[in-house]
């Protein structure tokens, strides 16, 4: 009998400090039986579930990002608004989704990074820039759709819930 490797599980990583879709992510994870890591540098209330694990990392630049990227790779889904974290996740082979449902991949991450860097340069030069648009029900719906598509894409690729 051949020793076949077990398919890798689909794992969800939430960059949770300012994530407005935690409850939606928990519901999707429960539906599919996905393990969720809720990563933040402060205590965040999470539902009592064997599938959901709260991870509190020390405060500091990129500590939560580093924790996520060290563990995420193919079969992982990262939810974040942090463009540099999204770029690192894409490079590691993870699926990356913003809370507004934007999917970051090899084709889109370069433009997202360039736009972020340009806006940062403008702000540091004293320009007044608009912040992001308020989070809307349409954004929540787009996120749920993008997350569902990512889970199903990974399942078709052989990853297991």
Residue 33: CATH number of its domain: 3.40.50
Of 8-12, 65-69, 82-86, 117-121, the least confident: 117-121
pTM for the predicted model, two decimal places: 0.86
d(CA 32, CA 59): 32
Residue 110 included in any domain:
no
Residue 94's alpha-carbon distances to 12, 27, 43, 72, 98, in angstroms, are 10, 20, 25, 6, 13
Residue 22 included in any domain:
yes
**Domain count of the chain?**
1
Tens digits of residue pLDDT in 111-150: 666 666 666 766 677 766 666 778 899 999 999 999 999 9
Residue 55 included in any domain:
yes
Q: Is 43 exposed, middle or buried (0-12, 13-18, 19+ CB in 10 A)?
A: exposed
Q: Give residue 44's domain range.
A: 11-105+137-156
d(CA 92, CA 80): 15
3-class SS of residue 32:
helix
């Amino acid at each position: 009998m051949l020793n076949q490797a077990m398919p890798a599980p689909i794992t969800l990583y939430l960059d949770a400090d300012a994530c407005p879709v935690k409850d939606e992510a928990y519901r999707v994870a429960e539906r599919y039986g996905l393990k969720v890591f809720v990563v933040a540098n402060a205590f965040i209330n999470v539902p009592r579930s064997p599938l959901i694990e709260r991870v509190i990392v020390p405060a500091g630049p990129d500590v939560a990002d580093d924790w996520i990227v060290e563990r995420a790779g193919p079969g992982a889904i990262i939810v974040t608004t942090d463009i540099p974290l999204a770029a690192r996740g894409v490079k590691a082979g993870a699926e990356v989704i913003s809370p507004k449902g934007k999917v970051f991949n090899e084709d889109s991450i370069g433009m997202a990074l360039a736009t972020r860097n340009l806006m940062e340069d403008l702000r540091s030069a004293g320009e007044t820039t608009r912040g992001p648009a308020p989070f809307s029900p349409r954004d929540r719906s787009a996120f749920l759709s993008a997350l569902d598509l990512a889970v199903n894409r990974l399942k078709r690729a052989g990853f297991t819930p």
